[in-house]
């Protein structure tokens, strides 16, 4: 595997988020708005679903819990006035998924803004501890850390040689992921290296198949999110490229938080 097994962070340290903001543990009931689908799920897994007062329309897990939580828009087009009326004490955002101007506008009236940015799978351990520490759910956070480390330790690299893959997240235009993304780091755990346009500085660049096919690509992966690729897309692209094309579960490979534990188990199946 590409990254070393990570260690559980001591619950006695300061709770510092992805941009260096230090957060104190709550001393009164929290009112949380989450603009990150995978973290909405994590908050519920930590036993804090009752504290969620707002979520995006893409926050769909766990379904029974989130159905009762008001929607406040998408991850990038939120309804600021609706959020204001919910009177949240905490806002949880992600550097990749949410727009900085929107977060800055919300920070004008939300006291605590928690910024997340997991880049590799082992970053989930710090994420569990960060949210568990802030919201007085340390015991649940430690349980998640233990489950993650067990799944991580059980994950073996693919029995085959290293493979070069194109991981597609969109079409019209076609878009992929660079090697500094969480998705690429997940796939690297089983020896699958993601191809992206060599001169691009974007983390999610567009590309042309004519350019990609000039490189030694072993397989193409079509993700079920954010674009809803289906087996019909797989069949059409296989005929076009003459390469193995595989539909993969985008949530399992791109959602950090509690879903990352199942994601590691999913990787085991892909590697077979």
pLDDT band at residue 5 using 50, 70 and 90 as cut-offs: very low
Cis, bond preceding 156 (omega within 30 deg of 0): no
Mind giving me the DSSP string for 204-217?
Answer: S-B--HHHHTTS--
Residue 14 has what pLDDT? 73
Q: For residue range 180-231, what is the model confidence (pLDDT) as tens digits?
A: 999 999 999 999 999 999 989 999 999 999 999 999 999 999 999 999 999 9
Residue 4 has what pLDDT? 44
Does the pLDDT value for residue 133 go beyond 50? yes
Cα–Cα distance between 166 and 192 in angstroms, integer? 10
Residue 272 has what pLDDT? 78
Quote the mean pLDDT of the chain: 93
Does the pLDDT value for residue 26 go beyond 90? yes
Residue 157 has what pLDDT? 61
Return the bridge partners of 222, or none.
168, 247
Residue 11 has what pLDDT? 46
Domains, the chain, in order of start with CATH, read 15-153 (3.40.50.1980), 163-271 (3.40.50.1980)
Q: For residue range 216-270, what is the model confidence (pLDDT) as tens digits?
A: 999 999 999 999 999 999 999 999 999 999 999 999 999 999 999 999 999 989 9
The model's pTM is 0.92
Cα–Cα distance between 60 and 58 in angstroms, integer? 6
| DSSP-H helix ranges across 20-157 | 37-45, 63-66, 80-86, 100-106, 123-134, 138-154
Cα–Cα distance between 78 and 101 in angstroms, integer? 11
Residue 7 has what pLDDT? 46
């Amino acid at each position: 595997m590409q990254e070393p097994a990570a260690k559980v962070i001591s619950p006695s340290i300061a709770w510092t988020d992805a941009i260096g903001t230090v957060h104190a543990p709550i001393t009164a009931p929290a009112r949380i708005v989450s603009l990150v689908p995978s973290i909405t799920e994590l908050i519920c897994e930590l036993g804090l679903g009752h504290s969620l007062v707002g979520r995006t329309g893409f926050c769909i897990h766990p379904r029974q819990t989130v159905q009762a939580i008001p929607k406040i828009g998408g991850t990038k087009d939120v309804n600021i006035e609706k959020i204001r009326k919910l009177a949240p004490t905490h806002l949880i955002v992600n550097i990749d998924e949410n727009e900085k101007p929107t977060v800055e506008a919300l920070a004008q009236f939300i006291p605590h803004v928690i910024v997340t940015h997991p880049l590799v799978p082992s970053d989930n351990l710090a994420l569990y501890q960060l949210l568990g520490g802030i919201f007085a759910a340390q015991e649940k956070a430690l349980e998640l850390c233990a489950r993650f480390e067990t799944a991580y330790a059980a994950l073996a690299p693919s029995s085959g040689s290293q493979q070069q893959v194109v991981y597609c997240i969109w079409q019209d235009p076609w878009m992929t992921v660079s090697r500094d993304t969480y998705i690429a780091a997940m796939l690297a755990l089983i020896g699958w290296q993601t191809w992206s346009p060599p001169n691009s500085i974007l983390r999610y660049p567009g590309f042309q198949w004519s350019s990609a096919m000039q490189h030694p690509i072993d397989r193409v992966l079509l993700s079920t999110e954010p674009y809803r690729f289906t087996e019909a897309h797989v069949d059409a692209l296989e005929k076009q490229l003459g390469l193995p094309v595989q539909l993969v579960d985008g949530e399992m490979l791109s959602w950090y938080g509690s879903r990352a534990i199942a994601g590691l188990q999913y990787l085991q199946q892909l590697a077979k």
